[in-house]
Amino acid sequence: MAGGTGTAIVAGQGALPGILADGLRAADLPFILAGIEGHAPPGCDLVFRIERLMPLIDALHDQGMTRVVFAGAMHRPRLDPGLFDPRTAALVPRFLAAMQAGDDAALRVIIAIFEEAGLEVVGATDLMPGLVPGPGVLGAVQPGPSDTIDAARAAQIVAALGAVDVGQGAVVAAGLCLAVEALPGTDAMLDAVAALSGGLRPQGGVLYKAAKRGQDRRVDLPALGPETVARAHAAGLRGIAFEAGSVMLLDRARMVADADARGLFLWARPA
C-alpha cells in the first residue's frame, strides 16, 4: 500500500471501492467514500450530484482530503439544469465538449477539474499496486497454441476499439470475433457469446481485455473478477487473457481457484 493521507474514494459500482477502503483502513489511513446520487454504493460518507461538483470539492477540502481516486464502474447520470450551482454551471461548456469527444475525454476533464481545485488524482493501482499482475499464467491451466493465436487476434481488435474510444474487450474463437465490448460492458458481452448457437459459434475461444492506448490509467482501468471467470465458463470459453500491467484483478486468489476448478486459463499476456 502506497503512503499518503486524506483520500477520497469516488465510488462507482462493483467491488473495487470496497477493496480500496479495506486497504486504506488496514493501513490506518484516513479516507471517505463519496458516491453519485442514484448510483452510490452502500456505506458512502458523501452522496453528491454532478450538477454540484464544486460543492463536493469544497466538502472534500473541509474534511481534510488531499487526494482523490475514482473506483468502480460509473455511468453517465442524467443532468438536471435546475440543480447546477453557479460555479459548476460555469464548467458546463467544458463538460459538453468533452462528452462529445468520448468517455476518455470526459474523464480527462473531470481529472483536470479536481486537480485545478488542489486535489491530487491518483489511480487505484497507485494505492494498491498488487491489483495489476505482471506477465505470466496465473493458475494451473496453460493456454494452448490456438488460444495464443486467438488472444493475439483479440488484442488487435481491442486496440482498434480503443483507438475510437469504444471498449476494452473482445472474444475470439478460431480466429473469429464473436463479440466486442461496448457500453453494456464485459458481462453483457459474455452473456451474448453464451447465447450464440449453431454454425455461428466455434468451439472454445478467449476473452481478452486491455487498457486503451494512451488512456489516463488513473481512471477507467479495466478490471476482472470472479464473476468474469464464471461468465467466461458459461460462455464456453477456454480462458481469459489480458494485457499484463494494465488490467486489475479483483480477488485474484479466488479468480485463480475458480479458473482452475473450471479448467480455464488466466494469462497476463505481455503487451
Q: What is the reported pLDDT for 102?
A: 64
Q: Which amino acid is at 265?
A: F
Q: Which three cell numbers stand for residue 163?
A: 483507438
pLDDT tens digits along 199-236: 778 999 999 999 988 788 888 789 999 999 999 999 99
Over residues 158-162, mean pLDDT = 94
Q: Is 59 strand, coil or helix?
A: helix
Range(s) for CATH 3.40.50.20 in the chain? 7-127
pTM score: 0.86
How far is residue 235 from each of residues 15, 188, 193, 200, 244, measured CA to CA in Å? Answer: 22, 11, 6, 13, 23
Q: What is the reported pLDDT for 2?
A: 46
Over residues 8-29, mean pLDDT = 93
Domain 132-269 fold is Cytidine Deaminase; domain 2 (3.40.140)
pLDDT tens digits along 176-206: 999 999 988 999 999 999 999 777 789 999 9
Q: Could you tell me which residues come within 8 angstroms of residue 139 by beta carbon, excluding any fewer than 6 positions away? A: 256, 259, 260, 264, 265, 266
Range(s) for CATH 3.40.140.80 in the chain? 132-269
pLDDT tens digits along 125-135: 999 999 999 99
Confidence of residue 41 (pLDDT cuts 50, 70, 90): confident
Q: What is the reported pLDDT for 31?
A: 96
Per-chain mean pLDDT for the chain? 91
pLDDT tens digits along 111-155: 899 999 999 999 999 999 999 999 999 999 999 999 999 999 999
- Return the half-sphere exposure (C-beta side, CA atoms, 13 A cut-off) of residue 44: 20
CATH number of 7-127: 3.40.50.20
pLDDT greater than 60 at residue 4: no
Q: What is the reported pLDDT for 103?
A: 67
- What are the helix (H) ranges across the chain? 16-26, 53-62, 86-89, 92-101, 103-116, 124-127, 145-163, 186-195, 226-234, 252-262
Percent of the chain exceeding pLDDT 70 equals: 95
Q: What is the reported pLDDT for 252?
A: 96
Q: Which three cell numbers stand for residue 8?
A: 477520497
